């Protein structure tokens, strides 16, 4: 049963889009299906390689211009699951959506989840992602007990806090550069219901946000949406959203299959400042009461945007970019106010501004992004002449306030900015697999693949 | 009569034999069966891949999973292999044939051996398996034989007529067999998937527009449950292939398909 090709097949240089659809690079896209495919597929490759998952990073950490992208999503098998401990071992290309489909009916949930379930296990480790529970659970990497790293020369490195701990620490948040993550073991957490005890609270101004953060320390999930288009008395108004897994036993069925697909590129005029401001006002007033309390399914609570697959196309062909910083507590309030003012002043639109406090649970990852303080994530449609000068200004402000930016959401920071944000980068450079590189890495270090 | 045992067998008690279990569509189908708690016997050529698939299906909830490494081109080995599978499962309710090769059309145009190999794997080997399985099920007056054919078998096209003719032969064989065994309580399902995103089609031109393999698998499981005879999946292929079959030959031969 050989799987040889027909005459139609060719090794295509296909566009592999990142979530922001910017920058657009061509690369050789090579799908992996079996654990033995790596490093076998690299045999005759002459350019750099980069393992990638579901392409949910916004900028260029998952892109490699004119190189080879090894797409892991065909490697999505479960290797073992222990219902006693909740330890799940799976191939790195499995998505968090697939893990939930498997785990929820068995009474388990992800220990940490980002705002979309369409990311892979490998991608979640490589960016050491965070969720709404960072203040109590830390990052994703805190719950990864073990994984296998395969280097392009064929060396297999078993990594855990006690086995090859330096590779463990460099790979969590290591942007895919230390080697290929073949499989990983994740500790799931028990639940008794799909439901979340949800509370949404309107706030006006950053001090109300900080007070709500302080008051909700014991609540597992907290996150806020801010209206970043308003100035004056509405400046920094928003909705504080908090929730806990419901402790009332209820049926643990699987989620229904997704249906809606956003099928076309929206024309740019839909996205002007006015329409976004209107959207924001609407969003704010959608919640009429000052406080809203409900029992909500976990899907809309964690993944409100996943209902519309490929909503990123709403931003049209030129793409979008997120800008996400973390600023430590001592300057967090000041920095956030200054940056929000700068954004409002620029008049550039943003649908979603997400504000959250990071807690002090340390990540095992050396290059991990979160640190205790405030994080803010903003979406911008890309307008080349206007966006990039703004991004550069915002990045400089972030630096002044002692913060740093999130590589998973970046396509704009300069090499000098990155190296100031992450002085550990030189350590990562030493642990990098010589064949592996990314457009991000080349941009922020000037490194070229060394083959 | 044809509403015999399988209708009464709850999915969790179903005993299913899968031939070519490491193929993309087969693996996706098996995941659904595993989550329903079925018992599975898996056959494939590559031991390492087969072990990975088996472990995954066990974790997903299959009541029982056994495997055999076998090259299905070896038709002499079929009777022993099938008897072993039935024995291991303690009976059989569904046999699912999912092995096959796309093959190299360009080479097959030049040398008969390449064409013969495609025809052997995609036609002769399934005929051997299905013959044994049909006789087994007829004796018990129950059972489902589900076979992956292809829309490519509905009309020969210059770009893949060797593969297409192997599937055309297979579809015709299954139609005839159905005609014979339906009255004996045995269901024969011919599955005609359009291009589907799997390892077999990875890297093909336009592959990103191919059908989602999990959606294809869900349709296959449903068609088996409903004891259907034919399945085009996605269903839009049925009217498309109707049109393609009816294009007059003098026009068709000029088309670049
Ligand atoms: C709507 C939306 C909401 C989001 N919300 C959050 C959030 O709340 N918190 C957060 O932290 N992030 C968030 N993100 C970002 C997202 O979680 C990360 O970018 C994630 O890493 C994407 O995973 P992926 O599988 O798509 O990986 P890709 O984007 O394809 O790749 C990401 C990185 O992982 C590496 N990689 C992938 N697989 C492997 C492997 N097997 N071995 C080694 N390296 C590998 C790649 O090289 C690359 O560096 C969000 C993104 C979207 C689109």
Q: Is pLDDT of B8 > 60?
A: no
Asked if B159 and A80 come within 8 Å (Cβ–Cβ), the reply is no
The Cα–Cα gap between B253 and B249 comes to 6
Tell me the mean pLDDT in the region A307-318: 74
> Which of A18, A69, A93, A119 is the best mutation target for the ligand 1 pocket, counting ligand atoms within 8 Å of the beta carbon and taking the most?
A119
Closest Cα of chain A to B164: distance in Å? 12
**For A69-73, B171-175, B202-206, which range has the lowest pLDDT when averaged over its residues?**
B202-206
Using one digit for the tens of pLDDT, what is the confidence trace for A241-297? 999 999 999 999 998 876 555 555 665 555 566 666 666 666 666 666 778 899 999
The helix (H) or strand (E) run that includes residue A429 is: helix A425-431
* Residues of chain B neighbouring A102 (CB-CB closer than 8 A): 59-60
Asked if B159 and A79 come within 8 Å (Cβ–Cβ), the reply is no
**Active site positions of B, annotated:** 163
Asked if B52 and A6 come within 8 Å (Cβ–Cβ), the reply is no
Closest Cα of chain A to B112: distance in Å? 16
Instruction: Please tell me which residue of chain A has the smallest CA distance to B46.
Output: A1
Output the pLDDT for position A268.
Answer: 59
Ligand 1 atom nearest to CA at A61: 49
Output the pLDDT for position A222.
Answer: 98
Q: What is the pTM of this model?
A: 0.92
> Which of A127, A262, A303, A433 is the best mutation target for the ligand 1 pocket, counting ligand atoms within 8 Å of the beta carbon and taking the most?
A127
CA dihedral of residues A201, A202, A204, A208 (deg, nearest 10): 0
Q: Is pLDDT of A13 > 70?
A: no
Among the listed residues A171, A223, A225, A164, the one whose alpha carbon sits nearest the alpha carbon of residue A198: A223
Tell me the mean pLDDT in the region B63-91: 98
Block residue for tokens 């005759």: A44
The Cα–Cα gap between A209 and A240 comes to 7
* Residues of chain A neighbouring B106 (CB-CB closer than 8 A): 7
Question: Is the CB of B121 inside 8 Å of chain A's CB atoms?
Answer: yes
- Cα end-to-end span (Å), chain B: 43
Output the pLDDT for position A228.
Answer: 82
Q: What is the complex's ipTM, to 2 decimals?
A: 0.88
Q: Is the dihedral of CA A25, A27, A33, A35 positive or negative?
A: negative
Provide the pLDDT confidence category of residue B1 given band limits of 50, 70 and 90: very low
Using one digit for the tens of pLDDT, what is the confidence trace for A376-416? 999 888 887 888 999 999 999 999 999 999 999 999 999 99
SS3 A408: helix
Q: Is pLDDT of A190 > 80?
A: yes
Asked if B160 and A8 come within 8 Å (Cβ–Cβ), the reply is yes
Using one digit for the tens of pLDDT, what is the confidence trace for A208-217? 999 999 999 9
* Residues of chain B neighbouring A14 (CB-CB closer than 8 A): 208
Q: Which residue has the higher pLDDT, B102 or A162?
A: A162
Alpha-helical segments (H) within chain B: 5-8, 24-35, 47-59, 78-89, 105-110, 112-119, 125-140, 161-181, 213-225, 237-246, 249-252
Output the pLDDT for position A14.
Answer: 55
């Amino acid at each position: 049963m050989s799987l040889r090709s027909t005459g139609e097949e060719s090794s295509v240089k296909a566009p592999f889009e990142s979530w922001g659809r910017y920058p657009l690079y061509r690369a050789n896209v090579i799908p992996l299906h079996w654990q033995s495919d790596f490093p076998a597929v690299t045999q005759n490759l002459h350019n750099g390689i980069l393992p990638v998952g579901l392409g949910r990073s916004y900028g260029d950490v998952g892109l490699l211009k004119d190189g080879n992208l090894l797409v892991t999503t065909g490697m999505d098998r479960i290797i073992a699951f222990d219902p006693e401990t909740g330890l799940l071992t799976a191939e790195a290309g499995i998505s968090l959506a697939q893990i939930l489909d498997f785990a929820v009916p068995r009474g388990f949930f992800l220990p940490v989840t980002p705002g979309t379930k369409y990311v892979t296990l490998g991608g979640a480790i490589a960016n050491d992602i965070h969720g709404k529970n960072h203040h109590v659970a830390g990052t994703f990497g805190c719950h990864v007990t073990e994984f296998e790293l395969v280097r392009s020369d064929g060396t297999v490195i078993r990594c855990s806090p006690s086995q090859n701990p330096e590779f463990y620490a460099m790979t969590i948040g290591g942007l895919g550069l230390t080697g290929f993550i073949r499989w990983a073991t994740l500790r799931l957490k028990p639940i008794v219901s799909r439901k979340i005890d949800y509370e949404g609270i309107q706030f006006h101004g950053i001090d109300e946000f900080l007070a709500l953060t302080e008051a909700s320390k014991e609540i597992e999930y907290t996150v806020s949406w801010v209206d970043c288009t308003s100035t004056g008395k509405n400046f920094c108004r928003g909705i504080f959203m908090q929730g806990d897994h419901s402790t009332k036993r209820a049926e643990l069925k699987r989620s229904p299959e997704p249906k809606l697909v956003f099928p076309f590129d929206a024309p740019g005029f839909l996205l002007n400042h006015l329409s976004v401001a209107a959207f924001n006002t609407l969003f704010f007033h959608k919640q009429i009461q000052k406080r809203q309390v409900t029992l909500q399914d976990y899907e809309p609570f964690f993944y409100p945007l996943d209902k519309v697959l490929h909503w990123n196309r709403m931003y049209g062909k030129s793409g979008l970019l997120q800008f996400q910083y973390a600023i430590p507590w001592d300057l967090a309030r000041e920095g956030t106010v200054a940056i929000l003012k700068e954004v409002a002043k620029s008049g550039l639109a943003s649908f979603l501004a997400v504000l959250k406090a990071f807690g002090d649970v340390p990540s095992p990852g050396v290059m991990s992004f979160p640190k205790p303080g405030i994080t803010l994530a903003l979406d911008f449609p890309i307008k080349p002449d206007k966006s990039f000068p703004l991004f550069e200004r915002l990045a400089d402000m972030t630096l002044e306030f002692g913060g740093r930016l999130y590589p998973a959401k970046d396509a704009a920071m300069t090499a000098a900015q990155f190296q100031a944000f992450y002085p550990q980068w030189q350590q990562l450079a030493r642990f990098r697999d010589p064949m592996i590189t990314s457009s991000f890495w080349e941009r922020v270090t000037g490194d070229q693949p060394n083959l | 009569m044809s509403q015999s045992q399988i209708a009464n067998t709850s999915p969790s008690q179903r005993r299913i034999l899968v031939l070519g279990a490491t193929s993309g569509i087969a693996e996706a189908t098996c995941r659904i069966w595993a989550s329903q708690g079925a018992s599975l016997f898996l056959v494939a050529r590559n031991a390492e891949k087969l072990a990975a698939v088996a472990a995954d299906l066990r974790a997903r909830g299959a009541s029982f999973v056994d495997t055999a490494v076998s090259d299905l081109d070896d038709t002499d080995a079929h009777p022993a292999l099938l008897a072993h599978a039935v024995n291991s499962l303690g009976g059989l309710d569904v046999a699912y044939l999912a092995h096959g090769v796309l093959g190299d059309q360009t080479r097959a145009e030049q040398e008969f051996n390449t064409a013969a190999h495609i025809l052997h794997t995609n036609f002769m080997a399934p005929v051997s398996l299905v013959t044994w399985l049909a006789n087994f099920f007829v004796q018990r007056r129950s059972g489902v034989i589900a076979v992956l054919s292809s829309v490519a078998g509905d009309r020969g096209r210059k770009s893949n007529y060797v593969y297409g003719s192997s599937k055309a032969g297979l579809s015709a064989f299954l139609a005839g067999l159905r005609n014979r065994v339906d009255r004996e309580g045995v269901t024969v399902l011919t599955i005609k998937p359009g291009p589907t995103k799997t390892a077999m089609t990875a890297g093909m031109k336009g592959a990103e527009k191919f059908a989602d393999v999990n959606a294809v698998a869900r349709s296959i499981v449903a068609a088996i449950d409903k004891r259907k005879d034919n399945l085009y999946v996605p269903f839009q292929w049925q009217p498309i292939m109707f049109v393609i079959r009816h294009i007059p030959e003098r026009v068709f031969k000029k088309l670049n398909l």
